[in-house]
């Protein structure tokens, strides 16, 4: 019995899926996006902070100090919203999500070009910080789609190096520009915000080329979507004793970090008289250079002693940071303190992510544990920047809050080292399980707790 052409078509093998683009193409596009991203976001927080100190802040010193704290505390505080951005990512397409991200995170920064008062500046900054919290969830999803399991770690490390290098260059240039022309922030913010459209378009294109799944999840009642992440976080922290102790150690580290973060702009401008260029170069550039140099050695250390002890080493090193700030008598003293900060943050960046990954135990629980870890950054941002500024205003001295920060860093190191000793054999240094594919939240302490 014969069959015709239509029979052949009906029985033919299905077409093979389109071939994935070359690794070089994907990485090249991702590098271009990363450089575009650093043009805006590596300067966003420190520059707004200095605009409060030197341009838009109150003439009254005490009022200006608290105005500064509102700005520096906003970024980690709004990280509380990461778990809710993760829910949005589940419900919409990537293109829609990135459009919302640009509208909330980048556009308000562009609007800073048109502000003429502290209130207007703060409003733009607060809206943008809500958007900052949306990057961590989508970053994990993109990394999962763009790179195979066997090479993802190397590609992520390469992108981190690009981000640090691009950030150093961007901060250096903008710092010099602002020193030469104090109104330069206006064209800078407009141009950098518009440039982000091109960067996000590159991500959308790469996602299509790599075949990233982009089907929104089934809609749920808003109450379920809001309450479920909170209930899950409460249940895990209540029942998982080791993870709870890990978070307590990180909370002590974060308390010290936030105290220093609140006081750094005040100390450098009020006590040392630093301007835009000196502040950018002696804090931002100095810290980022050291972090860049030590990122790979810290990765080597983590492979050998595990994330708990790596975090303990980093926390202990950070104990010198507030003491060096206290001892600084000029810009180079601040650069020395920022170098100690860069050393500590190179280690924190390693332990921050892999600690929850190991403690989660199974791949299915990893996104949840990392999301909880990211959200708790916001809690310490809410509380401890106000504590640091309050101690300074109450005592009239940087001594007491910075000594308290040093003690908290050291105590966090002791807690983390003890936690490592109590882990079952093999757990502390076991290779981390691959995060689950359901939109893993990938975040770093440097994203949430950075200058």
CATH code, domain with 122: 1.20.1250.20
Asked if 85 and 100 count as a contact pair (C-beta separation under 8 A), the reply is: no
Q: What pLDDT score does 436 carry? A: 35
Whose CA is closest to 20, among 202, 144, 147? 147
Q: Which residue has the higher pLDDT, 154 or 42?
A: 42
**Which residues span the domain enclosing 285?**
20-211+220-448
Q: How confident is the model at residue 420 (pLDDT cuts 50, 70, 90)?
A: confident
Number of domains in the chain: 1
Q: Let me know: does 54 contact 118? Beta carbons within 8 Å.
A: no
Q: How confident is the model at residue 24 (pLDDT cuts 50, 70, 90)?
A: confident
- Kindly tell me the sign of the dihedral angle through the C-alpha atoms of 152, 245, 78, 393: negative
Check whether 424 has a pLDDT greater than 70. Answer: no
Residue 233 CA, distance from chain mean position:
20
Would 3 be classed as within a structural domain? Answer: no
Say if 8 falls within a structural domain: no
- Report the alpha-carbon distance of residue 258 to residue 255 in Å, rounded: 5
pLDDT at 153: 65
Does residue 2 lie in a domain region? no
pLDDT tens track for 322-335: 999 999 999 999 99
Does this model's pTM top 0.75? yes
Q: How confident is the model at residue 364 (pLDDT cuts 50, 70, 90)?
A: low
pLDDT at 125 > cutoff 50:
yes
Non-local CB neighbours of 144 within 8 Å, separated by 6+ positions: 152, 435, 437, 440
* 218-267 tens-digit pLDDT: 766 767 766 776 777 778 888 888 888 888 999 999 999 999 999 999 99
Please indicate, yes or no, if residue 10 is contained in any of the structural domains. Answer: no
pLDDT at position 240, please? 82
229 versus 416: the higher-pLDDT residue is 416
Q: Find tokens 């293109």 and name the residue.
A: 95
Are the C-beta atoms of residues 315 and 411 closer than 8 Å to each other? no
Top pLDDT among 211 and 405 is at 405
Which pLDDT value is given to residue 18?
58
Model confidence at 367, in pLDDT bands (50, 70, 90)?
Answer: low
CA distances in angstroms from 134 to 56, 86, 105, 376, listed in the order given: 28, 7, 8, 15
Does residue 401 fall inside a structural domain?
yes
- pLDDT tens per residue, range 264-310: 999 999 999 999 999 999 999 999 999 989 887 887 887 788 888 88
pLDDT by residue (tens digit) across 106-123? 999 999 999 999 999 999
**Given phi > 0 = left and psi -120 to 50 = alpha, else beta, which region is 346?**
alpha
Is 224 inside any structural domain? yes
Q: Which residue has the tokens 């070009």?
A: 113
Quote the CA–CA distance of 102 and 269 in Å, as a whole number: 32
Q: Is residue 9 part of a domain?
A: no
Report the alpha-carbon angle 254-66-249, nearest 5: 10
**What is the C-alpha end-to-end distance of the chain, expressed in Å?**
77
Whether 123 maps to a domain, the answer reads yes
Whether residue 242 contacts residue 419, with contact meaning beta carbons closer than 8 Å, is answered with: yes
Question: From residue 5, how far is each of 8, 12, 13, 14, 282 by CA, in Å?
Answer: 5, 10, 14, 16, 74
Share of the chain above pLDDT 90, in %: 49
């Amino acid at each position: 019995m014969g069959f015709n052409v239509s029979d052949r078509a009906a029985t033919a093998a299905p077409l093979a899926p389109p071939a994935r683009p070359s690794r070089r193409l994907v990485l090249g596009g991702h590098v271009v996006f990363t450089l575009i991203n650093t043009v805006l976001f590596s300067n966003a927080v420190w520059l707004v902070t200095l605009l409060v100190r030197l341009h838009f802040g109150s003439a009254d010193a005490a009022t200006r100090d608290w105005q500064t704290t509102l700005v520096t505390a906003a970024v980690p505080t709004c990280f509380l919203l990461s778990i809710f951005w993760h829910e949005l990512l589940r419900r919409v397409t990537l293109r829609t999500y990135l459009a919302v991200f640009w509208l909330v995170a980048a556009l308000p920064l562009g609007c800073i070009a048109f502000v003429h008062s502290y209130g207007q500046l703060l409003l733009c900054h607060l809206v943008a910080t809500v958007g900052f919290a949306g990057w961590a969830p989508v970053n994990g999803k993109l990394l999962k789609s763009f790179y195979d399991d066997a090479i993802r770690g190397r590609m992520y490390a390469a992108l981190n190096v690009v981000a640090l290098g691009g950030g150093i260059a961007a901060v250096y240039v903008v710092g010099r520009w602002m020193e030469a022309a104090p109104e330069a922030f206006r064209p800078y913010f407009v141009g950098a915000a518009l440039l982000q459209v091109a960067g996000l378009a590159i991500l959308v294109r790469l996602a299509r080329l790599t075949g990233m799944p982009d089907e929104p999840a089934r809609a749920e009642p808003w109450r379920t979507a809001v309450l479920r992440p909170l209930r899950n976080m409460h249940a895990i922290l209540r029942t998982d004793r080791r993870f709870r102790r890990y978070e307590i150690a990180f909370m002590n580290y974060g308390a010290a970090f936030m105290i220093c973060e609140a006081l750094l702009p005040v100390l450098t401008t009020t006590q040392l008289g630093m301007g835009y260029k000196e502040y950018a170069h002696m804090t931002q550039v100095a810290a980022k250079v050291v972090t860049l140099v030590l990122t790979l050695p810290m990765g080597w250390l983590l492979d050998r002693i595990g994330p708990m002890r790596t975090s303990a080493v980093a926390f202990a090193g950070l104990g010198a940071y507030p003491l060096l700030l206290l001892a600084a008598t000029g810009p180079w003293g601040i650069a020395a303190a920022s170098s100690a900060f860069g050393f500590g943050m190179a280690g924190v960046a390693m332990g921050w992510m892999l600690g929850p990954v190991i403690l989660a135990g199974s791949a299915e629980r990893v996104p949840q544990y990392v999301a909880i870890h990211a959200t708790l950054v916001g809690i310490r941002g809410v509380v401890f920047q106000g504590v640091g500024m309050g101690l300074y205003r109450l005592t009239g001295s940087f001594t007491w809050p910075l000594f308290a920060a040093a003690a908290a860093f050291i105590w966090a190191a002791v807690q983390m080292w003890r936690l490592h000793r109590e882990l079952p054999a093999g757990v502390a240094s076991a290779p981390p399980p691959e995060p689950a594919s359901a939109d893993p939240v990938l975040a770093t302490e440097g994203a949430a707790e950075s200058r």
